[in-house]
Structure 1
Amino acid sequence: MNDGLAEAGERRVGWAARSMPVLQAIAAGFAEDRPLDGLRIAACLHVTAETAVLMGALKAGGAEISLAASNPLSTQDDVAAVLSEYGMAVHARAGVDRDTYYRHIHQTLDIAPQIVLDDGCDLVNILHTERTELLGDVAGGCEETTTGIIRLRQMAAEGALTFPMVAVNDTRTKRMFDNRYGTGQSTLDGIMRATNILLAGRTVVVAGFGFCGRGVAERAKGLGARVVVTEIDPVKALDASLQGYDVQPMSRAAEIGDVFVTVTGDRDVVRAEHLAVMKDGAILANAGHFDVEIDVRALEDMAQSVNFGVRPNTDEYVLDDGRRLLLLAEGRLVNLTAAEGHPAAVMDMSFSAQALAVSWLAREAARLSPGVYDVPPDIDVQVARLKLAAAGIVIDELTPEQEEYLHSWRVGS
């Protein structure tokens, strides 16, 4: 083990922990109560400093942990090094190829997990397709991405899911803090680090107006960009329009956009017919979990030549007519590849909900049927209360009379 690398990881994790008081408080409680004693946990997550703080909390609760990366381009090797020194099995290295990525997930599953933590559903998918001999040991798990929840709900609908999975992504705190504020800020951070462009006065096309897309649109607008939203959901499209955004189909937006950001959880959002009409110098960035939202293969087929690395995390595709399209982060998650992902203060809430959900599963999984479950509301409220307390924010409480009024249908005006 490279001691210098581990020392750098220690500093990075320590810096993140400063902004994660809620998770540290939970870790202290776990260390005292040991709710995860002897529990084997296999996790497929972004191997970042914030994830290390989560892993430390679970280990404090008594868990045995094996960790793989959910995206090789987001892996911080110094963090992987220090986690190994903490006594965890870490199967992750920055920049590995696809075959190594999947081999790492298989190695993580060799722990024969009782609880799984997933970020995109790849680990759960492999369990159900290639490592079915391990399914009998798995009591349940957690998923924290929109993309992963889409896959899990489809598995459940087809009767393929064999254990309960908690949709950590769908909590109110996660959607508000992580998806909206975290994705909004970190996505633009990644785009600006990769390109150093001025967003003011540019036309930014945001594909998808869920919580993540909403955050990207808000932040881009705040930096002076003209924002165009593309959507397939009429309610979300109406919401975007009423918030003042220009709503158009991608076929029209492709002609006018300077920067394109995909945030949908689906594939082929930007296709060959869109690439064919884009401006010279158009920038393509993906903030969805998998690298399928921009049709990179179509872009490769259309390109006469490719100038890789014209800037860090920026590749220039030169088309037959001389137009240049700039692809960021190889079409992968731009906020975790070209930047550092969500600020630690954001992940404090998401990973606190994750840790408490794991503790809840350790107690309740045996009573649950296979399926996708919401995080118990009291966990969401507990995380929000802890975050407010850490920030020194005090809120009102209901008086007994107000409580009674809210729970009685007999009292009118």
Structure 2
Amino acid sequence: MKGYEVKDLSLAPHGRQRIDWADREMPVLRLVRERFADEKPLAGLRIAACAHVTTETANLVRTLQAGGAETVLIASNPLSTQDDVAAALVAEWGVSVYAIKGESTETYRNHVHIALDHRPQIIIDDGSDVVATLVKERRAQIGEVIGTTEETTTGIIRLKAMERTGVLTFPAIAVNNAQTKHLFDNRYGTGQSTLDGIIRATNILLAGRTVVIAGYGWCGKGVAMRARGMGANVIITEVNPIKAVEAVMDGFRVMPMIEAASCGDVFITVTGNRHVIDREHFARMKDGAVVCNSGHFDVEINLRALRELAESDPITVRPFVEEYRLRANGRRIIVLGEGRLINLAAAEGHPASVMDMSFANQALAVEYLVKHKGELSPGVHTLPAEVDTEIASLKLRSLGIEIDRLTPEQIEYLSSWEAGTA
């Protein structure tokens, strides 16, 4: 057993059961794992993975291990670790895991450095904290890195900023931008798991309530779709005119947050930006308004401003539910999951069947970086379309679904400009 830092190894048997349960819902990743076990495309590779330590992530790590990689896994968020899963990976598969649910920011940052102590050749990142730390504090190691893969919109924004400033000197695969990732994981996964986290934390009825969703990207679309399906009245706030028009055409009310603040019963941020809910918004909210975040970092809700507005420290009324009472008017603002990812803080994250495609993307992106070592230019790259299509085809096959194929005549027609009106 290698180095590790988990809550309790005695949780491993239960974690193993849950990992195996998730594996049943991940047939695409299982097929990749079987091939990796035969071909060993990652033999001898050192990988540092920063991810939410969940049952689905465990099956990704098993796949990397089957391919021959030596992987260190750390949590990408202090509240997203499933402690029994972390224990099972250590005890059952001998993986070095450094993750404890509720770990402090200091511990989290220490784990990032432990991951870099592994001298990784590949980094699997979720928010780009490992890459950012490498670039800022461990530059002597950069030459050892073949490349990185990134799971989130937030992380890709950071990577592109690094690319613009010239500090990203190795290739990065934007896994989040693969169609079999963001069209499904972000929309269906975030949509369901966000509401799951809210309901588990509060046990409130969404039907009839006004739910304000900040951001109408794929995550926001998914949350809005599910909230409406549960009977909520949905308001969208946006800064992008095109996305705002789309939300209107999808049948949602659209307005600035300053107006929505006085209307909403539940507020959900999914923007990837900071202080989307700010001081002036808290001042307008109803008594008992519920505020939560499903974006990657805990910066979307300005909790420092809320603490300054509150008459005292918050009261924990349920697990992952804190009540702030405003000094000015006595109204109560309810914050879920400390403003961190509510779908992982209070629930289990995305369903395994959705993460099946996302993590197949991750595994194949790692393989792609290894196969094309030295060929890819520094900067952010999209996973090749043929890999995306392969994952979708495997998913359909696992569901027992067949689709049409183009005939030779149709292929010829699509590649020609000469044919027109018959």
TM-score bracket relative to the smaller structure: over 0.9
Correspondences of 1:327-346 after superposition (within 5 Å): 327-346=335-354
State the shift of 1:59 in Å. 0.4
1:378 matches 2:408: no
Alignment correspondent of 2:289? 282
Q: Percent of counterpart pairs with the same letter?
A: 58
- Specify the alignment match of 2:404 in structure 1: 396
State yes or no: 1:407 paired with 2:415.
yes
- In the TM superposition, structure 1's runs of 4+ consecutive aligned residues that sit over 6 Å from their partners are none
Distance 1:69 1:221 in 2: 32
How far did 1:309 drift?
2.2
Classify the secondary structure of the residue corresponding to 2:33. Answer: helix
Distance in 2 between residues matched to 1:383 and 1:45, nearest whole Å: 21
Equivalent runs, 1:193-208 vs 2, <5 Å: 193-208=200-215
Kindly tell me: are residues 3 and 264 of structure 1, through their superposed partners in 2, closer, same or farther at Cα, counting changes over 3 Å? closer
Whole-angstrom CA distance in 2 between matches of 1:277 and 1:334? 23
1:17 aligns with 2:52: no
Instruction: Give the residue type in structure 2 aligned to 1:390.
Output: S
Once residues 252 and 196 of structure 1 are traced to their aligned partners in structure 2, the CA distance between those partners, rounded to angstroms, is 27
Question: 2:150, 2:176 within 8 Å by CA — same for their partners in 1?
Answer: yes
Report the alpha carbon displacement of residue 406 of structure 1 after superposing the two structures with TM.
0.4
d(CA) in 1 for partners of 2:242 and 2:31? 39
- Separation in 2 of the partners of 1:379 and 1:275? 45
Q: More deviation in 179-188 or 69-78?
A: 69-78
Provide the secondary structure at the position in 1 that maps to 2:248: helix
Aligned residue number for residue 271 of structure 2: 264
Following superposition of structure 1 onto structure 2, how do residues 8-407 of structure 1 map, counting pairs within 5 Å?
8-85=14-91, 86-320=93-327, 321-407=329-415
CA distance in 1, matches of 2:108, 2:153: 21
Q: Match of 1:29, as an amino acid?
A: R
- Cα deviation for residue 311 of structure 1 reads 1.1
Per the normalisation by structure 2, the TM-score is 0.97
Offset at residue 3 of structure 1 (A): 5.2
Question: How many residues end up aligned between the 2 structures?
Answer: 413
Unaligned runs of 5+ in 1: none
Secondary structure in 2 matching 1:205: strand
Deviations 1:163-201 (A, max 9, x none): 100000011111111000000000000011111111111
Q: Separation in 1 of the partners of 2:324 and 2:417?
A: 65
CA contact (8 A) 1:91 1:105 kept: no
CA distance in 2, matches of 1:179, 1:3: 32
1:19–1:345 Cα contact (<8 Å) kept: yes
Letter in 1 for 2:322: D
Question: For the residues of structure 2 that align with 1:361 and 1:304, how far apart are their CA atoms?
Answer: 53
Q: After TM superposition, give the deviation of residue 305 of structure 1 in Å.
A: 2.4
Code of the aligned partner of 1:227: V
Unmatched 5+ stretches in structure 2 = 1-5
SS at match of 1:292: coil
RMSD (Å) for aligned C-alpha atoms: 0.9
> Is contact 2:10-2:87 (8 Å) kept?
no
Partner Cα distance (2:313, 2:246) in 1: 39
Letter in 2 for 1:62: G
**What are the Cα deviations for residues 31-67 of structure 1, in whole angstroms up to 9, with x where unaligned?**
0010000010001101111000000000000001011
Which whole-Å deviations, capped at 9, do the CAs of 1:280-335 have from their partners, x for residues lacking one? 00000100000000001111111112443201110000111210000000000000
Alignment check: 8 A CA contact 1:306 1:315 kept: no
* 1:257-295 residue CA offsets vs partner (Å, 9 max, x unmatched): 000000000001000000000000000010000000000
SS at match of 1:186: helix
- AA paired with 2:372? E
